[in-house]
């Protein structure tokens, strides 16, 4: 083989390597990156579809729970709502035998379409009565949430305890309720 033929073959080989490098850089690597990105988007969409199917399967249960929450909702009239709350708190205190030293309610409006009646309470009792009070609160039909709770001993033996709690009652706005 002549030197000029060898030189031509080397130029063709070098050109082919450069073309392969450019083809890899501008075609294959971006195509693989797009393929991976598309696979991730498909996986995310599949996850959303699966979550939607699960929600559809649980639709009746979710709607039933929402209807229960709407039925337990505090009334529109503030004084009637406060009366229900005070009756519930009185029932919890009576059933648990806790003695309240203070109870302070305060209405709060929220931009999301609901209001809460926040109650700050302080009371005394033994461990069983305070535990029963919290239990009665949690199983009551009214929409109540225990936000904060602090229990401290009032005597050296811990037989008398002091409870400081903040709990809120929910009232949905009329526009948020189902028709």
- What is the number of structural domains in the chain? 2
Whether 85 and 162 map to the same domain: the answer is: yes
Q: For residue 135, name the pLDDT band (cuts at 50, 70, 90).
A: very high
Mean of the per-residue pLDDT values of the chain: 89
Q: Which residue has the tokens 């693989």?
A: 32
Where is average pLDDT lowest: 67-71, 77-81, 168-172? 67-71
Whether 93 and 138 map to the same domain: the answer is: yes
Q: Report residue 87: phi and psi, to 5°.
A: -65, -40
On the 0-12 / 13-18 / 19+ scale of CB atoms within 10 A, 52 is: exposed
179 in any annotated domain: no
22 in any annotated domain: yes
Task: Kindly list the strands in the beta sheet with 114-125, ordered across the sheet, starting from the edge strand earlier in the chain.
Answer: 99-110, 114-125, 161-172, 144-153
Whether 34 and 89 map to the same domain: the answer is: no
Whether 79 and 163 map to the same domain: the answer is: yes
Q: How far apart are CA 167 and CA 104, in angstroms?
A: 11
Predicted TM-score of the model (pTM):
0.61
Domain that holds residue 21: 3-57
Whether 53 and 95 map to the same domain: the answer is: no
Q: How far apart are CA 159 and CA 155, in angstroms?
A: 7
The tens digit of pLDDT for each residue in 99-120 reads 999 999 999 888 887 888 999 9
| Those residues with Cβ within 8 angstroms of residue 93's Cβ, 6 or more apart along the chain or in another chain | 99, 100, 123, 133
């Amino acid at each position: 083989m002549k030197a000029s033929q060898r030189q031509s073959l080397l130029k063709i080989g070098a050109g082919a390597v450069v073309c392969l490098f450019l083809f890899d850089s501008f075609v294959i690597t971006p195509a693989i990156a797009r393929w991976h990105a598309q696979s991730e988007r498909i996986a995310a969409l599949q996850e959303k579809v699966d979550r939607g199917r699960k929600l559809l399967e649980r639709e009746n249960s979710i709607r039933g729970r929402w209807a229960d929450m709407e039925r337990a909702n505090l009334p529109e009239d503030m004084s009637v709502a406060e009366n229900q709350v005070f009756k519930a708190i009185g029932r919890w205190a009576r059933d648990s035998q806790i003695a309240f030293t203070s109870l302070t309610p305060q209405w709060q409006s929220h931009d999301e379409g609901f209001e809460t009646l926040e109650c700050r309470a302080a009371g005394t009792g033994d461990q069983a009565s305070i535990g029963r009070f919290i239990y009665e609160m949690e199983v009551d039909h009214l929409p109540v949430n225990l936000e904060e709770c602090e229990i401290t001993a009032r005597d050296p033996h811990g037989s008398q305890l002091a409870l400081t709690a903040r709990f809120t009652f929910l009232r949905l706005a009329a526009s948020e309720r189902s028709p």
